[in-house]
Homo-oligomer: A and B are copies of this chain.
Amino acid sequence: MALSRARIAETALALVDRDGLEALSMRKLGADLGVEGMAIYRYFPNKAALLAGIVEILLAELVIPPPSDVPWQRVFRELSHAYRALLLRHPHAIPLLATLPLSDPATARAAGAVMAQLRAAGFDAPSALKTLATITSYVVGVAQWEVGTAPFRAERNGEPFPLPPDADPYLVELAPQLAEDDCEETFEFGLDVIVRGLETRS
């Protein structure tokens, strides 16, 4: 099959999803494409551009509906959930989305669409921006927290997490709580906190 920007970026994303971000190298990607690594440089000037291409197709998965007259709380919740779902669908790519330079066109478009939503819901421009910062920060942060604590929740059929014998006493206290923590619920907890906080904004 012929090469193309789209096919390269998609196989790259598949590779990252499968083997992690570290495993993405030009040569390995070339191998997955059935081609020599250097061929990719005909379509992307360097690896950074390739990563930007991945971000682009990731953000394309995120459909942001045009402004309507549904209450902003609802919109806010739905967007947060959609973004969260996107991140959890591609956990290995989270670092890519965590540091999104807004100068990237794909990012700018997504941010702009959300801003439009918030503006339509009655936020003035500065608060809309602050709200956007708050929510993306929260969603990304929580996704990172979640993958960071994932080992404690891994299926272990009843056995507790195998802590090293010299583990910090704080950690042995923390571990069981982490193990039984329902991430979805924790996310909802923080989301409620933020929405309630926004409702009472002055």
Contact = CB atoms under 8 A, between A and B. Distances in A.
Interface of A: 95, 98-103, 105, 108-109, 111-113, 115, 125-127, 129-130, 133-134, 136-142, 144-145, 147-149, 151-152, 167-171, 173-174, 177-178, 181, 185-186, 189-190, 192-198, 200-201
Contact of A101 (B109, B137, B151, B189): B151
State the main secondary structure of chain A at its contact with B: helix
The 10 closest A-B pairs by CB, nearest first: A112-B170, A137-B141, A193-B197, A141-B141, A197-B197, A108-B171, A134-B190, A196-B197, A108-B168, A137-B142
A102 B148 contact: yes
Most buried by B among A95, A111, A170, A178: A170
Contacts of A177: 125-126, 129
